[in-house]
DNA sequence: AATATTTTTATAACACGTGTCAATAATGTT
DNA sequence: AACATTATTGACACGTGTTATAAAAATATT
């Protein structure tokens, strides 16, 4: 990496760190580009050079969070894709719990920005992951062979992201969000399950986590 | 109503009409408070006096739309609550189709505003309606008697609203949104249906409308 | 009719995200 | 070392939602 790129990377990191620090210590409402420039020790223009927009800075923070989450690794589920999928929900909840105001803040800020191109990348990523898992579930015999993994994966991913949108806007708690997704996921997967997995899924559906009032 | 209240009501209507006109003829990006004041023939301050904020003006437009929709009346479904619920989805789609850019525009504008109090009223309304319908479905014998109508109604309403959030942000078409909701609704209702309604629901689930890729 | 209250108006201002543009500094290339 | 390229800076400006303030107009009260 050339020294120029090194400097850019360094400045990007400084700006991200400053943004995170401001959000943590002063609240996300006080994250303004002018304040960010001051705290990062950089001119007002530089974040625009290095990121493009305020939203892009926040996206960088979200990417860091996503990276941190993926580093946790998906809980092993003894090769049962469906269980892995459901466990991921619990992991998301735990992850959010660990730093709720921060994650919700950046998520909401991104969602309430009128940079719609943001969403499609994360949407595509989620859909791809879900499709892979559902294809595994089919080849594992957890889901019926006539199941359309593409369509099902897309449906499940959108379900998650749609609820996350409401979560970001503060409508309900981490737990409520995940319970909503869990219920929706289980119901849909029950429509495609084999006899092998039906009992487990049905039991999970009938034993809901707290969905809230 | 006192003359003062009459004047207020009149001005409110003028402002709403001006806002709608601007959105229609110049696009929602050109709906600024200054332009709104000019077109409405009113001072810049007046919309703030009468509505509170720009978001509140848009909420008034959305309320008008919701009112117009409810005036259509829910499609009769021969007393089958579940069918009525599903038909409502089709009605929503038709309604959106009839004026897509307008409805999506105001919906997106409201959703991307940081006035979160907005959402709760429409959310509460939707939940209440769904709960009523689900209670009917139970007493009609369409859903099992041990079904929790409160919980189920809430779940279904949130499913709809969560998807609508993504719809507003332009992620997918009217039809795709409703197909997503339809699939999710059918799957969940299938978990609570009686033998009477199972065949119909299962057939509907297996015959999805186009969900898009 | 005179007075008090409430609303609207006019004007200015604030903080915000973002853009322009020239100057300057840092880095790359020869 | 001299030059060319690129990145950062600084100061300013624009349009936005929103608020402040005081004057004017409309309405209510007596």
**Residue A174 pLDDT > 90, yes or no?**
yes
Q: What is the CA radius of gyration of chain B?
A: 20
The counts of H helices and E strands in chain A are 10, 0
pLDDT, one tens digit per residue, over B10-23 is 999 999 999 999 99
Sorting pLDDT into bands at 50, 70 and 90, what band is B209? Answer: low
Closest CA to B187 of A128, A178, A14, A183: A183
What integer pLDDT is reported at residue B119 of this predicted model?
Answer: 65
Q: Can you tell me the distance from the alpha carbon of A205 to that of A134, in angstroms, rounded to the nearest whole number?
A: 18
Does nucleic acid strand C have an atom less than 7 angstroms from the CB of A21?
no
Nearest to B166 among A161, A171, A213 (CB): A161
pLDDT, one tens digit per residue, over B45-95 is 999 999 999 999 999 999 999 999 989 887 767 768 999 999 999 999 999
Does nucleic acid strand D have an atom less than 7 angstroms from the CB of A49?
yes
pLDDT, one tens digit per residue, over A111-166 is 888 776 776 778 888 999 999 999 999 999 999 999 999 999 999 999 999 999 99
What integer pLDDT is reported at residue A213 of this predicted model?
Answer: 53
Interface of B with A (CB under 8 A): 111-114, 116, 119-120, 123, 150-151, 154-155, 158-159, 161-163, 165-166, 169-171, 180, 183-184, 187-188, 190-191, 205, 211, 213
**Token pair recorded at residue B94:** 């038709």
**Residue B118 pLDDT > 70, yes or no?**
no
What integer pLDDT is reported at residue B167 of this predicted model?
Answer: 94
Between B212 and B27, where is the model more confident?
A: B27
Question: In chain B, which residues have their Cβ closer than 8 Å to the Cβ of A161?
Answer: 166
What domains can you pick out in chain B, each with its CATH number?
1-52 (1.10.10), 58-206 (1.10.357.10)
Sorting pLDDT into bands at 50, 70 and 90, what band is A207? Answer: confident
Q: Can you tell me the distance from the alpha carbon of B149 to that of A62, in angstroms, rounded to the nearest whole number?
A: 37
**Residue A73 pLDDT > 90, yes or no?**
no
Give the containing element (helix H, strand E) for A36: helix A33-40
**Residue B165 pLDDT > 60, yes or no?**
yes
Closest alpha carbon to C1' of D20, residue:
B45
Buried b (16+ CB within 10 A) or exposed e, A31-49: beeeebbebbebeeebbee
What integer pLDDT is reported at residue A115 of this predicted model?
Answer: 78
Please indicate whether, in this complex, the C-beta atoms of B169 and A116 are within 8 angstroms of each other: yes
Q: Can you tell me the distance from the alpha carbon of B111 to that of B62, in angstroms, rounded to the nearest whole number?
A: 11
Question: In chain B, which residues have their Cβ closer than 8 Å to the Cβ of A116?
Answer: 169-171
């620090």: which residue's tokens?
Answer: A21
Does nucleic acid strand D have an atom less than 7 angstroms from the CB of A44?
yes
Please indicate whether, in this complex, the C-beta atoms of A161 and B159 are within 8 angstroms of each other: no
Closest alpha carbon to C1' of C7, residue:
B4
Sorting pLDDT into bands at 50, 70 and 90, what band is B96? Answer: very high
Query: First vs last Cα of chain A: how many Å apart?
Result: 54
Can you spell out the DSSP letters for B171-188? SS-HHHHHHHHHHHHHHH
Does nucleic acid strand C have an atom less than 7 angstroms from the CB of B106?
no
Please indicate whether, in this complex, the C-beta atoms of B116 and A184 are within 8 angstroms of each other: no
The stretch A76-104 carries a mean pLDDT of: 91
Sorting pLDDT into bands at 50, 70 and 90, what band is A209? Answer: low
The stretch A85-103 carries a mean pLDDT of: 95
**Token pair recorded at residue B171:** 């992620």
**Token pair recorded at residue A139:** 């080849």
The stretch A167-174 carries a mean pLDDT of: 91
pTM of the model: 0.93
Sorting pLDDT into bands at 50, 70 and 90, what band is B207? Answer: confident
Between A115 and A33, where is the model more confident?
A: A33
Please indicate whether, in this complex, the C-beta atoms of B191 and A205 are within 8 angstroms of each other: yes
Please indicate whether, in this complex, the C-beta atoms of B180 and A158 are within 8 angstroms of each other: yes
Cα-flanking dihedrals φ and ψ of residue A143, to 5°? Answer: -120, 155
What is the Cβ-side half-sphere exposure of residue B106, based on CA atoms within 13 angstroms? 26
- Pick among A152, A162, A169, A181 to test the B interface (most B CBs inside 10 A): A162
Residues in chain B, total: 213
Between A79 and A54, where is the model more confident?
A: A54
């Amino acid at each position: 990496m050339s020294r120029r790129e090194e400097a850019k990377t360094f400045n990007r990191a400084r700006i991200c760190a400053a943004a995170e620090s401001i959000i943590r210590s002063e609240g996300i409402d006080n994250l303004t580009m002018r304040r960010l420039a001051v705290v990062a020790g950089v001119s007002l223009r530089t974040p625009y050079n290095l990121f493009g927009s305020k939203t892009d800075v926040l996206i960088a923070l979200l990417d860091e969070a996503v990276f941190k989450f993926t580093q946790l690794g998906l809980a092993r589920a003894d090769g049962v894709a469906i269980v892995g999928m459901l466990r991921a929900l619990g992991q998301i909840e735990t992850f959010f719990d660990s730093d709720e105001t921060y994650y919700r803040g950046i998520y909401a800020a991104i969602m309430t920005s009128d940079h719609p191109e943001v969403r499609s990348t994360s949407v595509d990523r989620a859909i791809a992951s879900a499709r892979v898992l559902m294809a595994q579930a089919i080849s594992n015999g957890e889901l019926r062979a006539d199941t359309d993994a593409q369509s099902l994966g897309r449906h499940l991913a959108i379900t998650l992201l749609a609820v996350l949108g409401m979560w970001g806007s503060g409508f309900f708690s981490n737990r409520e969000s995940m319970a909503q997704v869990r219920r929706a996921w289980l119901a849909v997967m029950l429509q495609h399950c084999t006899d092998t997995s039906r009992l487990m899924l049905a039991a999970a559906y009938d034993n809901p986590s707290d969905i809230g009032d």
